Amino acid sequence: MNTEELIARMTVEEKAALVSGTDFMHTNPIPRLGIPSLCMSDGPHGLRKQIGTGDNGVSESEPATAFPTAAATACGWNPENLRRMGEAIARECRFYGVHTLLGPGVNIQRNPLCGRNFEYFSEDPLLAGVLGAAEVEGVQSRGVGVSLKHFALNNSENYRFMGDSVASERTIRTLYLKPFEYIVKHAKPATVMCAYNKVNGTFCSENRWLLTDVLREEWGFDGAVMTDWGAAHDRAAGLKAGLDLEMPGDTALCRRQILDGIADGSLPQEVLDTACRNILGWIGRYVKPADPTPVDWDAHHALAAEIAADCAVLMKNDSVLPLSGAEKLHIAGDLFANMRYQGAGSSMIRPTRVTSPAEAFAQRGIRSVPPEECDVILVFAGLTDEAESEGFDREDMRLPEDQLRLIDSLCGTGKKVVVVLFGGSPVELPFNDRVSAILNMVLPGQNGGTAAAQLLFGEKNPSGRLAQTWPMRYEDVPSHETFGRTPQEVYAEGTEVGYRYYDWHGIPVRYRFGHGLSYTTFAHGEWVRQGDAWTQTVTNTGDRAGAEVAQLWLDGELRGFRKVWLAPGESVTVTLRPEEEDRTEYPDTLDVPPLPPVLPITPESRFTDLRRTFLGRILFRAVMAMPAKQMKKARRMPDGPEKENAVKGAVFLRRVLESNSLRSMSMCAGRSFPYNYAQGFAELANGHLLRGMRRFLTRIRVPALPKDQR
C-alpha cells in the first residue's frame, strides 16, 4: 500500500499512536497494516545505541566509535572530515539496526559557559552550516536519516526545559536560524528536532511561525519534525503548529489530547493526517534491515585520530614544538592518562577502545623524568565532566584550581612548558604568557591520544583554526551579566556574538576566531573579485608540508572558506563564491515580558524550585537520591572507560534532574511517571495533600497501543 492508502485505512487510535514514540527510541509500529517501527539513537559525533530501555545519557549502550565532538571538528574547517565521519557513523548505525541518528547539533555557541557547546560547531553560522551539512550528507548517503537539532535558540542549559529565549526577529533570522537554513536547503535532513525552550513566549513544539511558516513554507523542508525528548506540551496545539512526532512517547496525556481533539472537532483530521504522512514518508525511506557485515572498528579508530589531528589548534608556539624526540620530558596532569575525549550527557558514547596520550607515548617508548632533569615540561589539562556537561551551564570560564596551581608551579621551574588542552569550550588562560606553547585538542574522540602524540612530535602538522573566540576573561563576553541566570534568556546583544562583538567594539581577545598556527608558514595574496567569485593565492613559504585555511571576510563577517594542503614552496589559487546575502530588513525590537512567579509550584516549575516549600524539599531529596545511588555504584567500579562513563552518567543524571521540570520529566518517563503524577507532585509541593492524592489516583485513560492489541 502507498502512503495515502495507509492513511485512509488507519483508525484515529492508530494515527494517534503513529505520531507518538514508544520504548524511548522508536516510532510506534502498526502491525495490522504492516507499518514497521523506526529506530533512533543519539549522536551526533558517534552512535549511542542503548541496550534495553531507560533515560537517555544514562543507560548502557553498545560499543561504538567516539569521534571528535562538533566543537573539535569545527576547528578543522574541513567539511570532508564531517562527511567521512558521517559515513562511518552511518555504517555503525546500519550494523546495529539504527535508522536515524539524532544529530548534528548546530546551535550557535552564544556564550562560552553553555554546557553543551562541545556538541555544537561554532559561534559563526556559515561555518556551522557548512560543516553540519557535510555531516548530514555523509550520514544520509549511507541510507541512515538524521535529526537536525535543536530548533531553535537552544543556546543555554540551566533553564532549557522551561526557558524563554527572547530575541528580535532580526537577531533570530540573521544569526541563530542561519545554520539550520543552510543545512535544510543544501543537505535535506530527514527530520528536524524542535528544542525544549520557548522562543518569544511560545514553546518551540507549538511555534507555528518556527515550524511551519519558516521551516516548511520559506525553506521548503519536507521531512518530519519531532520533539526533543520530553519537549511536548499541548499535543494538539503542537500538531497544528507543524510538529509531527512526540518523543520519547508512551505518554497517555498526549494521545488523549489528540483523541479528544479529533472527537470534538478542535483538531482537524487533515492536520493529524499530514503528520502521519510525514512520518510514513520518513519510515518508508529509512527503515531497512540491519547490515550484519562486521564493522571495521580499527579503521574507524584510525579515522577518529586522523580527524582529531586535522582539527587540533596550535594556539601558541615559541619554537618549542614540534619535539624532536630527543628531549627529556617531564609529563604532568591527570588528563595524560585519563584523557577527556568526549562530553557528558545524551551524546556520551561507549567507545570501542580509548587510546590516551599515555598509551600513545608508551607505544613510542617515551617516559617521564623528574622536573629538574627535563628539557621540556608537558602538562595535560582541561575541563572536567563536573565542570562541563549537557544539562547545566558552567559557573565560570576558569580551569579547575588544582590545574592552575600545577601549571603555575611548573612555570616557576624556568623550564619550557607546553600545555595540551582538552575541553569543549574556551577557558581563561592566566598562564598564557608564561608557557612556551599551547596545543588545543578540544574533545578529540577515543583516539585523541594518538593525534596528540603525532602533533607534538611533528608526525602531523597542526592545521586547526579556532571556531570560537577565546576571550581574555569572562567579563568581556557580551552576555556575561545575564546568561543562564533566569528562565528568561534575553538576547539583548542581538547579533553581536563572538567575533562580531569583539571586532566591532575593539575589545582585545586572547585568541581570535579563525586563529591557528602551523609548523610551516604561509603567504596570502589579496582577495580579488571576479564577478560573483573571489580568488586568493596561498603559498607554503616554509619547509614542511601543511594545510592552511583561506578565509574570505566581507564587511566584518566570514563569507567563505576553504582548507588547502600544500607542499613546501607550493601555491594554489582558491576560488570562493559567497551565498547571496538576505538583505531583508527584519524588525530589531525586543518585547521582554516579566519573569514568571516561582511560587506556587506548577508542572512547568524548575525541579530545584521544589526546595522552596517544606513538602517540596522532601520530594526533591527523594528523587535526587537516585543519581546519588548511581554515583556510589559507579565509584565502586574498576578503573577504566566503563567507570569513567558511569561517573559521567551519574553527574549528567543529577544535573539534568535539577534543571528539569515536572512536566518534561513526565513527557520523558512515559508510563513510569504519567502526567497526573507530575500534577500530584506539584500539588503536594504546594501543601495540598488531598488534591495531590486525587491527582495521583486520577488515571489518564487511552486505548491500548496497536502493538499491544491482540
Residue located via cell numbers 485512509: 8
C-alpha cell of residue 71: 566543537
The DSSP secondary-structure symbol of 219 reads: T
Nearest to 28 by CA among 13, 48, 8: 13
CA 190 to chain CA mean position, Å: 18
Cα separation, 135 vs 159, in Å, equals 28
> Are 166 and 244 a contacting pair, CB within 8 Å?
no
- Helix residue ranges, H only, 104-150: 125-140
Q: Which region holds residue 147: left if phi is over 0, alpha if psi is between -120 and 50, else beta?
A: beta
DSSP string over 343-390: -SSTT--EES----HHHHHHHTT--B--GGG-SEEEEEEE--TTTSBT
DSSP bridge partners of 376: 329, 416
- Phi and psi torsions of 216, nearest 5°: -90, -50
- Is 164 catalytic? The answer is no
Residue located via cell numbers 517540596: 616
The DSSP secondary-structure symbol of 609 reads: G
Q: How many CA atoms lie less than 13 Å away from 424 in the CB half-sphere?
A: 31
Burial (CB < 10 A; 0-12, 13-18, 19+), residue 568, is: middle
Cα separation, 109 vs 313, in Å, equals 18
Cα separation, 18 vs 324, in Å, equals 61
Cis peptide leading into residue 706 (ω within 30°): no
Question: How many helices (H) and strands (E) would you count in the chain?
Answer: 21, 26
Residue located via cell numbers 552518567: 649
Question: Of residues 55, 124, 164, 228, which has the active-site annotation?
Answer: 228
C-alpha cell of residue 648: 559521567
First to last CA, the chain: 23
C-alpha cell of residue 691: 488534591
- Phi and psi torsions of 577, nearest 5°: -120, 100
The DSSP secondary-structure symbol of 708 reads: G
Nearest to 552 by CA among 574, 568, 570: 574
Angle ∠(205,108,86) on CA atoms, nearest 5: 85
Cα separation, 29 vs 319, in Å, equals 62
Amino acid at the residue 131: L
DSSP string over 290-354: ---SPP-HHHHHHHHHHHHHHH-EEEEESS--S--S-S-EEEE-GGGTS---S-SSTT--EES--
Angle ∠(40,44,50) on CA atoms, nearest 5: 45
C-alpha cell of residue 235: 499535543
- CB proximity list for 362: less than 8 A, separation 6 or greater: none
Q: Crossing angle, helix 641-659 and helix 614-635, to 10 degrees? A: 170
> Are 92 and 47 a contacting pair, CB within 8 Å?
yes
Q: Name the residues annotated as catalytic.
A: 228
